[in-house]
Amino acid sequence: MMQSSQPKPNIEQVEAALRQRIGQKVYQPGVQMPTELALTAEFGVSRATIRTVLTRLANEGLIMRRQGAGTYVNQRVGEVNTLRGLLDYGRLITESGYQPSIQPISMMMREATDEEAQVLSLGKGEQVAVLVRLFLADERPFILATNVIPQKMFKANGDFYDGRLPLHNFLEQYCHQTIAYAIYEICPRLADDEKTIQLLGCQPGRLLLQFTTTFYNHDNWPLVSGHSTYDDSVVKLRFMQSWV
């Protein structure tokens, strides 16, 4: 039980703790979770806070709340990738039972294309940083990601940028920006270029998935434009949608 002298955790911290327990199977699929009163006592927060957190998890489909019978971890939770907020490739890999890692491929500055300038609300001739990285699951490559970031957003001086950081951490550290949401377009594509075939280690002509994404801050300003090529033979992309 938490000491009363310590600051009380907020809703996000309690949610993160319960989510971690579900993900790590401290609370096994299909098994009843501790009661609201037990969680209230453990975390030292109000019952309203616990109810808010449980409602969020139920809306996502991670838990099932049965009237008069308690709260249970969804027995199907281990079969899907939970999508909460941004599609985080590292979390996707972890929840699929693999060890994630990011391998930086290249980072270069160049002039934005007309399409990139339009998506990122840039003027003609403005410079962008193009960050290319490979995401691996247990050292097996399965996502080739290219992100385009306006050069004017960078606040840190120097020539070194850690490409192993998840994108949200990269933007917070070097651009002082926070991602609020993202818009994704998903479509099939063939492995038909040498770079994709070589880096993903796939056969020419293999059918892959391509995510075209724009990330925005809380002011609805576009921060990053990118596309990721995903080989779902390595990690399956399966999501749960709840109508709770």
pLDDT in tens, the chain (244 residues): 444 456 677 888 898 899 888 877 899 888 899 999 999 999 999 999 999 999 888 877 788 888 788 899 887 665 554 545 456 777 777 777 788 899 999 999 999 999 999 999 999 999 999 999 999 989 999 899 999 999 999 986 667 889 999 898 999 999 999 988 788 899 999 999 999 999 999 999 999 999 999 999 888 899 999 999 999 887 777 665 555 4
In this predicted structure, what is the pLDDT of residue 181? 79
Contacts 24+ apart (CB under 8 A), 18-25: 18/53, 18/54, 18/57, 19/57, 19/62, 19/84, 22/57, 22/62, 22/63, 22/73, 22/77, 23/82, 23/94, 23/95, 25/78
Q: How many CA atoms lie within 13 A of 144 on its CB side?
A: 19
Give the residue among 233, 230, 234 at the shortest CA–CA distance from 87: 230
Cβ atoms of residues 223 and 171 within 8 Å: yes
Which 8-state DSSP code applies to residue 108? Answer: E
Task: Give the tokens for residue 29.
Answer: 């699929």
Task: Give the tokens for residue 105.
Answer: 């491929």
Ordered by where they begin, the domains of the chain are 11-79 (1.10.10.10), 89-230 (3.40.1410.10)
Residue 77 CB-density burial (10 A; 0-12 exposed, 13-18 middle, 19+ buried): buried
CA distance 242 to 62: 9
Q: How many CA atoms lie within 13 A of 2 on its CB side?
A: 15
CA distance 65 to 71: 4
In this predicted structure, what is the pLDDT of residue 241? 52
In this predicted structure, what is the pLDDT of residue 183? 85
CA distance 170 to 187: 26
Cite the DSSP H helix spans in 24-125. 36-43, 47-60, 89-95, 114-119
Separation in Å, CA 85 to CA 148, 151, 155, 215: 21, 26, 26, 12
Within 10 Å of residue 68's Cβ, how many Cβ atoms? 4
Task: Give the tokens for residue 236.
Answer: 């399956």
In this predicted structure, what is the pLDDT of residue 160? 82
